[in-house]
Amino acid sequence: METHLNNIYRPTQPLHERNVYLLPGSHCSSTHQSPINIDKNNAVPDSHLDAFVFKHFDDNHAIKYITNTGHSMKCVLVENLVEESGGGLGHDYTILQFHFHWGDTSDTSEGSEHTVDSKRYPMEMHIVSKRKDLTLDEALQAPDGLAMLGVFIEVKPGEVKLLTVVYILLENLTSYLSKIHNISTTVMVTYEISIDDLLGNVNRHDYYRYSGSLTTPLCNQAVVWTVFKEPVNVDLNLIKMFPKQTGYFNVYRPTQPLPVATGPVNLHSVLFDLSYVFCCWHASVSILYNLDL
């Protein structure tokens, strides 16, 4: 059955003395949840956050298939091919998939999960990876079992079509959306598209870092988050394709509160004791098991 749904919710109803129970195993009400609002004034320079090493991000056959998850679309990669390390991660990670979060079809739609100084971008891309030395089950239980790269997607005027090949490649990617209207529908990717292609000229040496969680249940607090400062610039019509073709609108989790600091606020406690406080690095200047993730 095709999905063309919008505002499919009933207003909240009174409890009438009923009890509310947490989903078994859920971490969604825990204290280190994602996404968050990144306050640039509170970002702390950390010289331990060095440059990333990306392996096979340029492989234009790495995307295996695209699937309709029931609330978004997910691009699954060839197993054990694309990898990342460095960037202060401490382990080697293998890329599992990437997916997108978006808003509605309006010209001013906002759909990113993370915000920066309370600014929400039109879209956000999440590149999901797992520690190579752990199984997926083990990774979900480790504080650094998963690593996420968050990339904001911004609307720029029509000249973007002429200035970069990102437009053409993302257009190729969105062309598959019309083939996965049904939930759990999968389509094999035949276009030659690499992750490097989709990221374009985004500065990957300039990013925010914090420890957080998955943004879908069970919200495991197992994620080392990297959020790049610089967005990918695309045409508005491409962004509108995601809600139009999938029938899914406003597919993002609201920002979650930061934990309260209980210890002394000094450089050491900020950088190491409070793992949720974000850090940033710039060049050599040293600074359900529903695994849709």
Residue 10's identity, in one-letter code, is R
Q: Are strands 52-55 and 232-234 parallel, antiparallel or unpaired?
A: unpaired
Do 177 and 255 contact (CB within 8 A), yes or no?
no
Q: Which of 61, 71, 91, 181 is catalytic?
A: 71
pLDDT one-digit tens code per residue, 64-92: 999 999 889 999 999 999 999 999 999 99
CA dist., res. 101 & res. 122, Å (int): 9
Q: Is 71 a catalytic residue?
A: yes
For each of the domains in the chain, give its residue range(s) and CATH number, in order of start: 37-285 (3.10.200.10)
Cα separation, 77 vs 65, in Å, equals 7
- Per-residue pLDDT band for 235 (boundaries 50, 70, 90) equals confident
To which H or E segment does residue 206 belong?
A: strand 206-212
Q: What is the pLDDT of residues 206-233, one digit of tens each?
A: 999 999 999 999 999 999 999 999 999 8
In this structure, the number of other CB atoms found within 10 A of the CB of residue 287 comes to 15
- Which residues are CB-neighbours of 218 under 8 A, at least 6 positions away? 23, 25, 26, 27, 28, 288, 289, 290
Residue 17 exposure: Cα atoms within 13 Å on the Cβ side: 0
One-letter identity of residue 167 = Y
Q: What's the whole-model pTM score? A: 0.84
